[in-house]
Amino acid sequence: MNKESSAALADEREAREFKPISTPRRRIVLKFGSRLLTGGSTRLDPERMAAVARAVVSAPGQQVVIVTSGAVAAGFRALGLDVPPKRVEERQAAAAIGQGHLMSMWAEAFGATGRTVAQVLLTNDCLTDRKRYNAARRALGALLNAGIVPIVNENDTVSVDEIEVGDNDNLAAITSALVDADLLVLLTDVPGVLTGDPEEDDDVRVVERAESPDELRALCFAKKAIESTGGMVTKLEAAERAGRFGIPTVIADGTSYEVLAAAVEGRSAGTFIAADEAPLSARAHWMAVQKGLQGHLVVDDGAVAALRRRASLLPSGIVEVGGHFRRGDLISVLDGKGIEQARGIVRFDDREVERIRGLHTDQVREALGVDHGHVVMRPDRLVLAERGGVVEISTEPVEADHGEEM
């Protein structure tokens, strides 16, 4: 991006009236990446972690959850490696070695301030299963109410493609929804989203506020650090996820104690990204943020149109069943081109749907030999896909359904 286009973007944003962060924040999720905790090296820096602890305890009115990277950085040398590994099995092994060391360092940092920490390891299957999701919500809430600082990380040792969350920025967004956070703070080693590439433009400035992540996507630049797996693109994805649940996001410089303390206290810092004006309900957000769903249904055009009218998904519109799922699982609904049109809680398992797909409602009971109703997916248990995959729930009235509650 040249200086002229960068300046034009900056002038456009300056012309807007941005509201400062003025409301005190009570529950905050702080996310730290490996590069921030290592100071750009490949070793965890205990002084940086101690600074985090001091900043957290300096705001006693706040409840803070920390989402942390660093397990691989803490353990890869024990495998005889000189640099953090890229192979999945080596990263899993390094995480298994390093996770205990990482938690020990966090415990020591907070112990010096008189605070206790708790380890919370998550994988995507903890989040896609509604019972596990609610269990995680309750556990995290209990820890926070007891004055404990939860330290959240992805369970890298057992994470594989089917169950991994994928990056800790998005894990932080999901965690912010789990705890009903007031603010998500993604801390990095730059002061925020910049108006240009600092390596090519000396006049770059921090974008202080944006109304949505879409305003900032053109300002993303590729990451260069080998020890980190995120970047500004994933931070904007995380901000979008959190924003759909009504949670604003701050992207700020975690290397500065003053900035860190300001973020913890809810004062202006870095780039503030506003939340959606019409956030999703808790259930709709849970459905929207899930990744790696285990099943899907392919439906015809008539079924797609019916879903967008807020009608139920019926067997007659289903043309294909993919994956394995149980009654009550969250699955995707695809059109004939393979594009996700909706996702929702299914009322039959995959074998049952295979037996009844294409049938009219009066044929369903005979095909199954039992009366479980004829609705495959209810409109109040699904969300619709819009804008290139962003999932939103409709606010239109829901049709009556006298089938079994689910």
Task: Write the DSSP string, 344-378.
Answer: EEESS-HHHHHHHTT--HHHHHHHHTS---S-SEE
Using DSSP's 3-state secondary structure scheme, residue 133 falls into helix
CATH 3.40.1160.10 positions along the chain are 3-284
Mean pLDDT score, 82-97 = 87
Tally the C-alpha atoms within 13 A of residue 103's C-alpha that lie toward its C-beta.
Answer: 18
Q: In this predicted structure, what is the pLDDT of residue 124?
A: 67
The tokens for 301 are 């055009």
CATH class given for the domain over 3-284? alpha beta
Residue 313's identity, in one-letter code, is L
Q: How high is the pLDDT of residue 292?
A: 72
pLDDT tens-digit map of 254-307: 888 888 888 888 788 899 999 887 776 767 767 876 777 889 999 999 999 999
Number of C-beta neighbours around residue 327 at 10 A: 15
> Sorting pLDDT into bands at 50, 70 and 90, what band is 185?
very high
pLDDT at 289 (0 to 100)? 67
Q: Pick from 219, 154, 268, 242: which is nearest to 1 by CA?
A: 219
Q: What is the pLDDT of residues 218-233, one digit of tens each?
A: 887 554 444 444 478 8
Kindly report which listed range (13-17, 53-57, 272-276) carries the lowest average pLDDT score. 13-17
Phi-psi bin for 373: left (phi > 0), alpha (psi -120 to 50), beta?
A: left
Does 161 have pLDDT greater than 90?
A: no
CA-to-CA dists, residue 32 to 35, 181, 200, 254, 333, angstroms: 8, 17, 27, 8, 35
pLDDT at 152: 94
Residue count of the chain, please give it: 406
202-206, 280-284, 294-298, 311-315: which has the minimum mean pLDDT? Answer: 280-284
Band of the pLDDT at 4, cuts 50, 70, 90? very low
Integer Cα distance of 8 and 219 in angstroms: 12
pLDDT of the residue at 159: 52
CA angle in degrees (0–180, nearest 5) for 171-268-117: 45
pLDDT of residue 88: 83
Average of per-residue pLDDT across 110-117: 96
Q: Are 65 and 31 in contact (CB under 8 A)?
A: no
- Domain(s) labelled CATH 2.30.130.10 in the chain stretch across 294-392
- The CA distance from 53 to 50, in Å, is 5
Measured CA to CA in angstroms, residue 362 lies from 274, 303, 349, 374 at distances of 49, 17, 19, 8
Calculate the average pLDDT of the chain: 81
Looking at CATH, the fold of the domain delimited by 294-392 is given as: 2.30.130
Greater model confidence, 103 or 126: 103
Cα 311 to Cα 376, 384, 401, distances in angstroms: 11, 12, 10
Percent of the chain with pLDDT over 90: 37
Rounded to whole angstroms, the Cα distance separating 35 from 387 reads: 32
Dist. CA 194–CA 301, nearest whole Å = 43
Tokens of 329: 């699982």
pLDDT of residue 20: 40
Q: Reading across the β-sheet that carries 117-122, which strands appear in turn? A: 117-122, 149-154, 63-68, 27-32, 183-188, 249-253, 271-273, 209-210
- Judged against a pLDDT cut of 90, whether residue 2 lies above it is answered with no
Furthest-apart CA atoms within the chain: distance in Å: 72
pLDDT digits (tens, 9 = 90+) for 360-406: 988 998 888 877 788 999 988 888 886 544 444 443 433 333 333 34
> What is the Cα–Cα distance from 223 to 231, expressed in whole angstroms?
5
Chain centroid to Cα 281, Å, comes to: 15
Rounded Cα distance between 234 and 238, Å, is 6
Rounded to 5°, angle at Cα 287 from 286 and 293: 120
In the chain, the percentage of residues whose pLDDT exceeds 70 is: 81
Q: Note whether 117 and 107 are within 8 A (CB).
A: yes
pLDDT classification of 22: cutoffs 50, 70, 90: very low
Tell me which of 56 and 189 has the higher pLDDT: 56
Tell me the C-alpha distance between 88 and 82, whole Å: 16
Q: Across residues 319-323, what is the average pLDDT?
A: 95
Of the listed ranges 158-172, 231-245, 268-282, the least confidently predicted one is 158-172
Which has the closest alpha carbon to 226: 81, 62, 93, 347?
A: 81
pLDDT at residue 156, rounded to an integer: 57
Q: Report d(CA 392, CA 343) in Å as an integer.
A: 10
Which of 332, 304, 308 shows the shortest CA–CA distance to 317?
304
